[in-house]
Amino acid sequence: MLLIISLACAVHVFAEETIVPPALDLTALSEKSASMEKNIYKVADEVSRQNRELLDLRKEIDVLKESNQRLIQVLRNLEIYVKSVSSMPPDASQWEKVRSGMKSEEIEKMLGQPEEIAEVRRVGTIWYYYGMGSITFNESGTVTDKKTFKRFPNNP
């Protein structure tokens, strides 16, 4: 009897291990694959659209930075005109672009009007930009020297 019960259990266990999975539905798999492919194309299109939008935004930021720089320069020039001196030094990044050989017109366009101009015999014309330094021009209006003022830390 025990042998019959053991045999019956072994057949049952063997039968469970050899169960064949149901047949695959190729139509359903094909539809699922097509749906996933459509979703991939949608995502790719959205990423492409967002990349174009990002490039447009970067261009707008560059235009705004340039406009802001021009507005700061106009404000500084107006302040010099009204007060004869500006409380705003030129932009430091613009100051760093000053090189020997540049013309006075280039410098004024880049930095704005100087707060003070001095004519020094045998040296040339010196433009002072308070808070930044001085630029020396020869008699033909070409930069021969640039001096940057030493900056001291603010005392609290």
At 54 the pLDDT is 94
Of the ranges 86-100, 101-115, 133-147, which is most confident? 133-147
CA distance 94 to 109: 10
At 48 the pLDDT is 93
pTM score of the predicted model: 0.49
Q: Show the DSSP H helices in 84-148 as ranges.
A: 92-95, 104-111
Burial 56-73 (b: 16+ CB within 10 A, else e): eeeeeeeeeeeeeeeeeb
Task: Give me 29's structure tokens.
Answer: 């798999």
For 67-81, the pLDDT digits (tens) are 988 888 888 777 766
Higher pLDDT, 61 or 94: 61
CA-CA-CA-CA torsion for 50, 55, 61, 67, nearest 10 degrees?
-140
At 156 the pLDDT is 45
| Domains present along the chain, CATH in parentheses | 50-150 (3.30.1450)
CA distance 128 to 45: 55
Q: How confident is the model at residue 45 (pLDDT cuts 50, 70, 90)?
A: very high
Is residue 125's pLDDT more than 90? yes
Helix, strand, or coil here: 28?
helix
